[in-house]
Amino acid sequence: MRAFLLYLFTFCGLVGFGAPAMADHSSGTASVKPVPDVVFTLRTDIADGKLVYISEAGPTKGQVNPDLRVAEDAVVQVNIVNGDGALHDFSIPDFSVKSDQIGGKGSATAIVFRANKAGLYEYLCTLPGHKAAGMFGKLIVGDVQETVVSNFPDLSKNPSEVGEPVGKRGAKEITIDLEATEVEGRLSDGASYKFWTFNNTVPGPMLRVRVGDTVNINLKNSPDSAHIHSVDFHAVTGPGGGAAVTQVAPGHSKSFSFKALAPGLYVYHCATPMVAQHITNGMYGMILVEPEGGLSKVDREYYVMQGELYTAQRHGSAGLQEFSLDKLLDERPEHMMFNGSMDALSATHKMESSVDETVRIFFGVGGPNLVSSFHVIGEIFDRVYDQASLTSPPLTDVQTTLVPPGGATMVEFKTEYPGNYILVDHALSRAEKGLVGILTVNGEANDEIFKSEEEVDHSSGH
């Protein structure tokens, strides 16, 4: 029956399903109904806990969220068949095409458009939350080499790079070298941004010292920079947190020293006017001042920071994204991210744990503007060091914790059941702008903690 419906759907003008949405950018004549040069048929489904499109035919048959490759100027038809019974649609924003919504297994719709511009574009389901759940892929028009869009360096920070614990050592003198750079880097597949960084990563390196240490900071501004840069450490007691004496022109260096007087987890950032622009472009990081005797031992430690980008282009656009001052001043970010790119913690870098291990996350908000409601879906924080105070008793059994821009927290929890646990800001519409990470827990399942019952197919009456 499905094969017959697909035959009607693909070759007989969608009898019984309604006419496909059509966008012909080459002619502008509404009455013209071109015959498609290429036809794709995708089925909506659930795979590995994600919402996806699955190819139903051709060389991509069986592939999840397949790359759709077409010649430039081809007339393209994409058929969408509902395979999971939920409400979905299909859209390619760069070609201004969007299907009708379909709900119920076996329902179908289609779009037809002319692919009149070469490049790499995104297709997706536009229903709220569905892209974040996995319903997106790539349309490749013309002879586009995908390596071209990946030539930009990946500046996203590996969350495992947390520095060496201080342990039980005494106070000593520490020297830290930072370099301000301005580098075009990867934002997502097909998109880049001119980031401003400390040491070529966003966020900058996680620095780790001990209370009582004397810390020497050397800040160099790359000769290739076009702007003056500086650094303000929230852990510093002194003028501007160090920013007053580190306004550094391109090609020059400045230094200062400070005494680490109070333990805690502190943000640092560039503080050259306009400060918010320097921060949003990537110039933020954290310094951990451990208490005497160090922190308690855990199995895993991770470094995660939340940031915002304000671009003229809307979220999901390809190419170089340009900074928008108006959106920054209105506090309307187009992109939000953990550790410097849209997929830094969901694809580029792995965060892992095993059953019965303890995990510690050093979490901060570079901002510059939005408060985070940090949450790990499917986990409960055993301990939250509120406002990153390491000398106050931690909160226990916490679901979600607030972290202001320029603020931090430290959370600890035991991973007790295998699976993928999603890091989010629980202002969940931000997940649509890229604010998602994944912690994978490996090991044996324990039915006493969680048990999944056998699925019941309500549509068949069983």
CATH of residue 75: 2.60.40.420
Say whether both 78 and 41 belong to one domain: yes
Kindly state whether residues 87 and 232 are assigned to the same domain. no
233-239 contact pairs (CB < 8 A, 24+) = 233/258, 233/266, 233/268, 233/287, 234/266, 234/267, 234/268, 234/406, 235/260, 235/262, 235/264, 235/266, 235/268, 235/287, 235/289, 237/261
Region 294-306: what's the mean pLDDT? Answer: 98
Same domain membership, residue 87 and residue 174: no
Query: 391 versus 28: which is more confidently predicted?
Result: 391
Residue 125 assigned to a binding site: no
- More confident of the two residues 269 and 14: 269
> 232 Cβ partners below 8 Å, 6+ apart?
240, 241, 242, 243, 268, 269, 270, 271
Query: Do the Cβ atoms of 304 and 388 come closer than 8 Å?
Result: no
Tokens 């051709």, located at residue: 58
Chosen domain end from 144, 167, 188: 144
Question: Is the same domain home to 115 and 173?
Answer: no
pLDDT in tens, 49-87: 789 999 998 889 999 999 999 999 999 999 999 999 999
104, 128, 144: which is the final residue of a domain? Answer: 144
Distances (CA, A) of 397 to 28, 365, 380, 382, 427: 60, 22, 6, 5, 20
Which among 1-5, 317-321, 334-338 has the top mean pLDDT? 334-338
**227 carries a ligand binding annotation:** no
- Beta-bridge partners for 111: 21, 78
Number of independent structural domains in the chain: 2
Q: Does residue 11 lie within any of the structural domains?
A: yes
Burial class, 85, CB count within 10 angstroms (exposed 0-12 / middle 13-18 / buried 19+)? middle
Above 90 in pLDDT, residue 328?
yes
**Are residues 322 and 430 part of one domain?**
yes
Distance from chain centroid for Cα 329: 22
Q: Computed over its alpha carbons, how large is the radius of gyration of the chain?
A: 25
How many other C-beta atoms are found inside a 10 Å radius of the C-beta of residue 395? 15
Residue range 185-243, pLDDT digits in tens: 999 988 999 999 999 999 999 999 999 999 999 999 999 999 999 999 999 999 999 99
Asked, for residue 462, whether it belongs to a domain, the answer is no
Does residue 134 sit in the same domain as residue 163? no
Kindly report the average pLDDT of the chain as a whole number. Answer: 90
**Band of residue 132 on the pLDDT scale cut at 50, 70, 90:** confident
Predicted pLDDT at 47:
87
**How far is residue 394 from each of residues 342, 381, 385, 391, measured CA to CA in Å?**
31, 11, 5, 9
Helix, strand, coil: what percent of the chain each, to 5? 10, 45, 45
Q: Which of 144, 163, 188 is the last residue of a domain?
A: 144
The annotation status of 88 as a binding-site residue, yes or no, is: no
- pLDDT band of residue 24 (cuts 50, 70, 90) is very low
Structural domain contains residue 216? yes
pLDDT tens readout for residues 229-253: 999 999 999 999 999 999 999 999 9
Q: What does the pLDDT average to over 116-135?
A: 89
- C-beta separation of 282 from 307 below 8 A: yes
229 is in an annotated binding site: yes
> How far is residue 395's CA from residue 411's CA, in Å, rounded to a whole number?
9
* 339 shares its domain with 251: yes
272 close to 229: Cβ distance less than 8 angstroms: yes
pLDDT, tens digit (0-9, with 9 covering 90-100), for 353-389: 999 999 999 999 999 999 999 999 999 999 999 999 9
Shared-domain flag, residues 99 and 196: no
CA-CA distance, 319 to 149, in Å (whole number)?
A: 8
Residue 120 contacts residue 190 (beta carbons within 8 Å):
yes
Task: Give the three-class secondary structure for 217.
Answer: strand
- CA-angle at 453, arms to 449 and 458, nearest 5°: 150
Cα–Cα distance for residue pair 426/210, rounded to 1 Å: 33
Q: 41 and 129 share a domain?
A: yes
Enclosing domain of residue 369: 150-450
Same domain, 154 and 218: yes
**What pLDDT was estimated at residue 143?**
86
If asked whether residues 78 and 209 sit together in one domain, one would say: no
pLDDT category at 17 given cuts 50, 70, 90 is very low
Average pLDDT in the 142-151 region? 63
270 annotated as a binding-site residue: yes
Q: Are residues 326 and 192 in the same domain?
A: yes
Query: Is it the case that residue 459 has pLDDT exceeding 70?
Result: no
User: What's the number of CA atoms in the CB half-sphere (13 Å) around residue 29?
Assistant: 5
Q: Is the pLDDT of residue 390 over 80?
A: yes
pLDDT > 90 in the chain, percent = 82
